[in-house]
Amino acid sequence: MKIVITGVTRGLGRALTEEFIRGGHTVIGCGRSGDAIFDLRMTHLAPHDFSVVDVALDTKVAIWAAKVLENDAAPDLLINNAAIMNRLAPVWEQDDREFTKLVDANIRGVQNVIRHFVPAMVAQKKGVIVNFSSGWGRSVAPEVGPYCMSKWAIEGLTKALAEELPEGMAAVPVNPGVIDTDMLRSAWADGAASYPKADAWAKKAAPFILQLGAKDNGKSLSVGGDES
């Protein structure tokens, strides 16, 4: 299976990348850290491929997608994983610059990737698009208002996309659950260690994601098994 995934340089994206490759799948990934991308390139040679791309920049995503699709088929599985967390504070204290940066990464970044990869998938009338949501895309909590907003947006965007896809395809908003990652530690350093590590999570998440198909189109799912 050919898998395209964003945000592969750390956390869930890196763990999923390693797990998919162990399973014999081809992974095409991107991330913002040049050092981490170089490491992935040296560790996992062709047909795997990794590029430095900021998904918030539409022109960069366009160039990356054109390169990926130029001489190969569209992905069987497209995973929008890249996202950032806001600084913990009430909504009225969220800085405009930080708020805009979060919107660019968490919402516009997902749309940029959809814009440049999904047309090739639609042309072939096959493939699954997984957009990572969150428990906070279906509920809320204080001091994470911008992050909640962005993940509620992902739920709506994905469900609308699901209505537009040809029969046989699927767009699925997936809540990965709470995992001990750098992003979680940046917000809750004291509590993050009580949650599963990304590598352990990926061993359960990878097979869950790989079995998604047309039957799941438009459903809000969770790696833990909840559905709505």
What's the 3-state SS for the chain?
CEEEEECCCCHHHHHHHHHHHHCCCEEEEEECCHHHHHHHHHHCCCCCEEEECCCCCHHHHHHHHHHHHHCCCCCCEEEECCCCCCCCCCHHHCCHHHHHHHHHHHHHHHHHHHHHHHHHHHHHCCCEEEEECCHHHCCCCCCCHHHHHHHHHHHHHHHHHHHHCCCCCEEEEEECCCCECHHHHHHCCCCHHHCCEHHHHHHHHHHHHHCCCHHHCCCCEECCCCEC
- The whole domain housing 121 covers 2-222
Q: Would you place residue 193 in the very low, low, confident or very high pLDDT band (cuts 50, 70, 90)?
A: low
Q: Would residue 186 count as lying in a domain?
A: yes
Q: What is the CATH number of the domain that holds 17?
A: 3.40.50.720
Q: Work out the pLDDT band at 177, boundaries 50, 70, 90.
A: confident
pLDDT, residue 198, reads 87
What pLDDT does residue 57 have?
98
- Asked if residue 154 belongs to a domain, the reply is yes
Any idea which residues carry the catalytic annotation? 147
Domain assignment present for 227: no
CA of residue 13 relative to chain centroid, distance: 7
The domain total for the chain is: 1
Residue 43 lies in a domain: yes
Residue 143 lies in a domain: yes
Q: CB–CB of 102/84 below 8 Å?
A: yes
Mean predicted confidence (pLDDT) in 182-188: 52
Q: What is the pLDDT of residue 72?
A: 79
Mean pLDDT, the chain, rounded, equals 93
Determine, yes or no, domain membership for 125.
Answer: yes
In a domain, 228, yes or no: no
Compute the average pLDDT of residues 157-180. 94
Tell me the range of 88-102, 167-181, 196-210 where mean pLDDT is highest: 88-102
Determine which of 53-62, 73-82, 146-155, 174-183 has the lowest per-residue pLDDT on average: 174-183
pLDDT at position 31 over 60: yes
> Does residue 189 lie within any of the structural domains?
yes
Averaged over 188-203, what is the pLDDT? 70
